[in-house]
Structure formats: structure tokens, C-alpha cells
A and B are shown apart, each in its own frame.
Chain A
Amino acid sequence: MRKSILAGVGLLALSVLPAAQAAAQTGTAWLHVRVEEAKDASKVAVNLPMAVVEAVLKASPEMIEKHGKIHLGDEHGMKMADLRKAWKALAEVGDAELVSVESEDENVKVMRKGDLVQVFVDKKGKPGKDGKASKGEEVRVEVPVSLVDAFLSGEGEEGNIQAAVAELQKRRGDIVRVRDDDSNVRVWIDEQNTQSPAGK
């Protein structure tokens, strides 16, 4: 009897889980930026609801039109049509290391892994005057594939900012992390309206 009850409760929990996950995703998304500088002992934390981010993104009148679309065009080096073609070709390749540059000073890797495009930049530390090598710099950027898809969903020479922001609303987790000797920068999205110590 007890086994039946436990099995029933288990099945009920499993059936509720997807609904609970969906409910968690419908909360208000917040974009967080955290900058810590050890030298100045300063910490800056910015938390913005995504609706505000969308409003702020309209703040570049030269680049963004009234309808929230970015023009690339010739003056920005690459035509949007070419960008779309390249992205479509990359999408067909699937998971792959797209770019790998290794030099004395830094290593750069751009990969597509699952739903993410990952950019890793590792700058090697240089020896200082005291002979000790600095830590160097580490940059981690994760861009969801769906975000790029949304951005490229505009027509002609336009990137669709509104669709990109709508996609960002669904994203949860780290977007950018930069670490170097002195500073630490993190940009992420979650549903908390503050930066809890656990979120550091």
C-alpha cells in the first residue's frame, strides 16, 4: 500500500515538474551586471528588468530605427544578407569549433556547442617589473543560437533588436564573464531582483 502511495506521489511530482519549470520561466527576467575592482575595492551592481533594457536599447538613434532594428549595411563592413548566409551555413554544420587562434599573447576560440555560441579569449599574463607574471585576462561570452536567429530575423539590412530582446527574456544564466588581474565582470540574466551572494 505504502509503495503504491509513493509511486502515485512520484508520478504526480513528475507530471507537475514541467509545469513548475514553465512557471519559473514566466517570471520577470532581470539583467544583472556586476563589476568588481580589487585595486579600488569597488563593487558596482546593476539590476534591470528586461523591459527597461529594451527601452534603453532604443537609446542609439543613429543605429537603431524607430522599429528597433539595427542597420548594418556596407558602412559596417559586412552586409546583413552575407551575415545571414554565413549563419545559416554554420547552423547546418552543428557543433563545431568555428575559430581557433593561438598566439604567444592570447588564445581565441569561437565554438558552437548545442544551443550556444561560445567565445573564449585567454590573454596570457606578462611578467611585471618584479618578475612576477600577471594573471592575464579571461573572457567568456555565451550567446544563445536563438538570440542570433532572432537578431537576424529582420529584413534587408536590418537586425531585429525587438526579437533579440524577446529572446533574451527567455535566457537564464551567464552571458559574459571577464576576469583579469584586477577586475571581474559578470553579465547574466535570472529572475532575482537583486544580486544575492550566492549569485556572485
Chain B
Amino acid sequence: MTKLAVILGVPIALLATIASLGVVVVDVREGGPDGHRIVVPVPLVFAQAALALAPVVAPADKLRIPDNEALQHIGVARDVLEALAAGPDGELVRVEERDEQVVITKEGRSLRVRVSGKKENVTVNVPLSLALQALPGEDGRIRTAALAGALAGLRFTDLVDVRDGDDHVRVYVW
């Protein structure tokens, strides 16, 4: 009996530990009576480990953006993101057309992009802390360790929500 408890307890404790560190969940629901539901949980710690190991396994040039005009604007992009993060909440952009509406709002420490069409609705939340860490440094290097650290702050965040007719896709961090 004790053996069984240990055999079951170890993987359960392991799963609980991994879950407590966060899980990215991709939840796909197909519409219709025969629609499937696919749920893919990816422990956040795996993504963090992969990012942390990336500089070791990937060639240095693959983790660096080319030294072109884009690189010159990284500083400005960082200033804009920092100003946005420090600034007040509000609706930043609203585009209304006959069949589509796009709204970008700043809510807390996130940018929320909502696209509403006749048939589909898409919501994307971009945590500003993640966007800031995703920006390469002045030397063009993508700071994977910082990015991995920023992932830890994403717990309980809805990242993507797409509704297309009866189909529904959600990506969230639990």
C-alpha cells in the first residue's frame, strides 16, 4: 500500500509542481455537432528552459536581428513601450470600417487588441513586460533569459481568443 502511494504520489507531486509554476494552455474547440476539442497544456517551465538554453544550442547569429534600419529603432520602440506602460489606461486606437472594427486599448500592464468582423472575433493581449523583454538589446541580441523571466509574470493571463463562427481557439496561461 505504501509502495502504491509512493508510485502514485511522486508523479502527482511532480505534476502539481509543474502546474504550480504555470501552464500555457492551447484550447481548440471545433464547432458543429462533430466538432473536436483539443487541449494542449505546455508547462511554462519547459518554455522557460527552452529559452534559457537557446543561446547554448542555437548559433549566435540566429539570436540576433540583422544590423539594419530596424535595429536603429529598437531604442525608440523601448521608449514608446515604457511610456505606454507608465501612462494611463485608455483606448489608443479605434478603426471602424463597414465590416470590421479594430480597437487597441491599454489596460493595466497590457495592450489589448480586439478585431471584430462579421464572422470572426479576435482578441490578443500583449503584456507590455513581455513585449519589452522581447525587444532585442542595442546590439541586436534577443535576450532569451530575460524573455524566459518575463514568461513567469504571465500567470492567469488570456493571451489569444479567436472565435470564427462556431470554432473557438484560446491560448491562456494558467
- Checking B72, B82, B90, B98 against A47 with a beta-carbon cut-off of 8 angstroms, the contacting residue is B90
A179 part of interface (Cβ distance < 8 Å): no
- Checking A28, A45, A59 against B94 with a beta-carbon cut-off of 8 angstroms, the contacting residue is A45
Most chain A CB neighbours (cut-off 10 Å) among B83, B93, B98? B83
Q: Say whether A42 contacts B96, CB under 8 Å.
A: yes
Given contacts A28-B88, A47-B90, A194-B90, contact A59 B73 (CB under 8 A): yes
Range class of the A interface residue count:
20 to 34
**Segment at the interface with B among A50-58, A100-108, A133-141:** A50-58
Q: Say whether A42 contacts B84, CB under 8 Å.
A: no
**Cβ–Cβ < 8 Å partners of B120 in chain A:** none
Q: Say whether A40 contacts B80, CB under 8 Å.
A: no
Q: How many residues of chain B get a CB closer than 8 Å to chain A's CBs?
A: 21
Q: How far is the CA of A52 from the CA of B106 in the complex (A)?
A: 12
A-B contact count (CB 8 A): 63
Q: Which residue of A lies closest to B92 (CB)?
A: A47
**Cβ–Cβ < 8 Å partners of A83 in chain B:** none
**Cβ–Cβ < 8 Å partners of B82 in chain A:** 55
Q: How far is the CA of A52 from the CA of B93 in the complex (A)?
A: 13
Q: Which residue of A lies closest to B80 (CB)?
A: A55
Most chain A CB neighbours (cut-off 10 Å) among B84, B92, B93, B95? B92
Q: Say whether A48 contacts B92, CB under 8 Å.
A: yes
CB neighbors of A among B58-98 (8 A):
72-73, 76, 79-80, 82-84, 86-98
| Contact bitstring A96-129, B, C-beta under 8 A = 1, else 0 | 0000000000000000000000000000000000
Q: Which residue of A lies closest to B79 (CB)?
A: A55
Q: Say whether A193 contacts B79, CB under 8 Å.
A: no
Q: Say whether B92 contacts A46, CB under 8 Å.
A: yes
A44 part of interface (Cβ distance < 8 Å): yes
Q: How far is the CA of A40 from the CA of B96 in the complex (A)?
A: 10
**Cβ–Cβ < 8 Å partners of A52 in chain B:** 80, 83-84, 87
| Contact bitstring A27-71, B, C-beta under 8 A = 1, else 0 | 010100000000011111111110110111011010000000000
Q: Shortest 7 CB-CB distances between A and B: which pairs?
A: A193-B90, A49-B87, A55-B79, A45-B94, A55-B83, A43-B96, A51-B83
Could you list some 20 contacts between A and B, CB below 8 A?
A: A40-B98, A41-B98, A42-B97, A42-B98, A43-B95, A43-B96, A45-B94, A46-B92, A47-B93, A49-B83, A51-B83, A52-B87, A55-B76, A55-B80, A55-B83, A56-B80, A59-B76, A61-B72, A61-B73, A193-B88
- A residues near B (Cβ < 8 Å) are 28, 30, 40-49, 51-52, 54-56, 58-59, 61, 193-195
